[in-house]
Amino acid sequence: MAAGEASGDILAGLVLPALHARLGACECAGIGGDHMRAAGFDAWWHVRELSVRGYAEVLRHLPRLLRIRRELTARVREWRARVYVGVDAPDFNLGVQEKLRAAGVRTIQYVAPAVWAWRPERIAQVARAVEHLLPVLPFEEKLFADAGVRTTYVGHPLAGTLPQRADAPAARFRLGIDAAAPTVAMLPGSRKAEVSALGPPFCDTMRWLQQRNPRMQFVVPAASEELKTMLDAMLAWAGIDRARALVTQGRSHDCLEAADAVLVAGGTATLETMLFGKPMVIAYKVPWLTEWITRRKALIPYFGLPNILAGRHVVPEFVQKDVIADRLGPALMGFLDDPARVNLLAEQFAAIRATLQRDTPGLVAEAIAEAAAR
């Protein structure tokens, strides 16, 4: 297996116990993170090695990434693996899968590349590289099946693992924050480049909100100790009242459950926020080269998963130069000051959640076991 970032580590970590239950004794190794390791995975490389974002950052790390891909491909062949499972990270995994499939290794891709958003030409590469595709979004099954790719929709595992009803008071108690104060969660991303780009405007937005309501409190989960140190420094520089702002290492789900509204970086965290039923404002800020290429190839007018799944704008999105406190702050206040709007949004989110609920770990494990048996 090879997971490409923190979200992939979580997804694969949920599958591994189901796979061991189905196959009994089996060896699983490759590229993974702490969740996968906790499930018995032998991580030859940590998932952090692949956690780069955008064209500009990828170009800087390209020699190292290509070296890892070559070494992984050779090691999988030497190890005589039955199956190779790419977990998201298609830019990395599809190249590996093409070579391994040609060498006789069964190839599975868990989480489909977002060809519906941009780069539709990747469908042809998926057909060459992947024996069995396991998408987590419902509309993807027909899209790839129509292109001749064997495809099984497996649902999204978080839809079955996150609580159906958020208990904000209990989450605030666990975090040790004021149970009665209006609470906003700030999630500026799980990668260093994301936090560097979004941390400052998120801090500006916290100050904007605190100036209008001194009782406002904030919870900010950091994906690692390094990112927590970065965020602590950003909050200090921005002059945020730290008595009203908690930065945690991990605990993103506690922070989401505790929140009345969420400011979140585009990505998997928008789906998690939706599954908690929380109103959100989505921000997306990338290097100019990434934006230029993406805009030329984009096929849909939104990038947040709740809007993609709904097929329309149900929550606000702000991109690039619009990621500023004067835009983000009023959008968040629009939810905090309008309970009826929040209730309507929660109903829309519940309907979307129902389309995502399957026995995802079991379905993925079944596909891997079936491939291993052949």
Tens of pLDDT, residues 309-322: 998 999 999 988 99
Question: Is residue 197 domain-shared with residue 92, that is, in the same domain?
Answer: no
Question: Is residue 18 domain-shared with residue 86, that is, in the same domain?
Answer: yes
Question: Is residue 332 domain-shared with residue 365, that is, in the same domain?
Answer: no
What is the pLDDT averaged over residues 210-220? 96
Residue 161 domain flag: no
What letters, b where the CB count within 10 A reaches 16 and e where it falls short, cover 232-241?
Answer: eebbeebebe
pLDDT for 115 equals 80
Q: What is the mean pLDDT of the chain?
A: 91
Confidence of residue 120 (pLDDT cuts 50, 70, 90): confident
Question: Is residue 253 domain-shared with residue 369, that is, in the same domain?
Answer: no
Please say if the pLDDT value at position 288 is more than 80. no
Residue 163 domain flag: no
Confidence of residue 290 (pLDDT cuts 50, 70, 90): low
Residue 160 domain flag: no
Please say if the pLDDT value at position 144 is more than 70. yes
What is the pLDDT averaged over residues 175-199? 94
Is residue 183 within 8 A of residue 177, CB to CB? The reply is: yes
Question: Is residue 296 domain-shared with residue 346, that is, in the same domain?
Answer: yes
Residue 67 domain flag: yes
Residue 162 domain flag: no
What is the pLDDT averaged over residues 333-339? 96
* Structural domain range at position 130: 2-155+358-373
pLDDT for 35 equals 94
Residue 135 burial class via C-beta count within 10 angstroms: exposed 0-12, middle 13-18, buried 19 and up: buried
Residue 123 domain flag: yes
- Which contacts of 63-69 are long-range, i.e. CB under 8 A and separated by 24 or more positions? 65/92, 68/31, 69/95, 69/96
Give the whole-angstrom CA distance, residue 151 versus residue 134: 6
Question: Is residue 100 domain-shared with residue 210, that is, in the same domain?
Answer: no
Confidence of residue 232 (pLDDT cuts 50, 70, 90): very high
pLDDT for 195 equals 93
Question: Is residue 331 domain-shared with residue 364, that is, in the same domain?
Answer: no
Residue 201 domain flag: yes
Instruction: Please give the tally of structural domains in the chain.
Output: 2
Report which of 69, 57, 18 is spatially closest to residue 285, judged by C-alpha positions: 57
Question: Is residue 210 domain-shared with residue 78, that is, in the same domain?
Answer: no
Please say if the pLDDT value at position 52 is more than 80. no
Question: Is residue 330 domain-shared with residue 187, that is, in the same domain?
Answer: yes
Confidence of residue 164 (pLDDT cuts 50, 70, 90): confident
Percent of the chain with pLDDT over 70: 92
Is residue 133 within 8 A of residue 144, CB to CB? The reply is: yes
Tens of pLDDT, residues 257-287: 999 999 999 888 999 999 999 999 999 886 5
pLDDT for 323 equals 95
Question: Is residue 368 domain-shared with residue 287, that is, in the same domain?
Answer: no
pLDDT for 13 equals 94
Question: Is residue 222 domain-shared with residue 319, that is, in the same domain?
Answer: yes
pLDDT for 320 equals 86
CA distances from 80 to 29, 76, 100 (A): 12, 6, 10
Tens of pLDDT, residues 339-367: 999 999 999 999 999 999 999 999 999 99
Question: Is residue 345 domain-shared with residue 365, that is, in the same domain?
Answer: no
For position 266, which CATH number holds? 3.40.50.2000
Helix/strand/coil (H/E/C) assignment for every residue in the chain: CEECCHHHHHHHHHHHHHHHHHHCCCCCEEEECHHHHHCCCEEEEEHHHHCCCHHHHHHHHHHHHHHHHHHHHHHHHHHCCCEEEEECCHHHHHHHHHHHHHCCCEEEEECCCCCCCCCCCHHHHHHHHCCEEECCCCCHHHHHHCCCCCECCCCCHHHHHCCCCCCHHHHHHHHCCCCCCCEEEEECCCCHHHHHHHHHHHHHHHHHHHHHCCCCEEEEEECCHHHHHHHHHHHHHHCCCHHHEEEEECCHHHHHHHCCEEEEECCHHHHHHHHCCCCEEEEECCCHHHHHHHHHHCCCCCCCHHHHHHCCCCCCEEEHHHCCHHHHHHHHHHHHCCHHHHHHHHHHHHHHHHHHCCCHHHHHHHHHHHHHHC
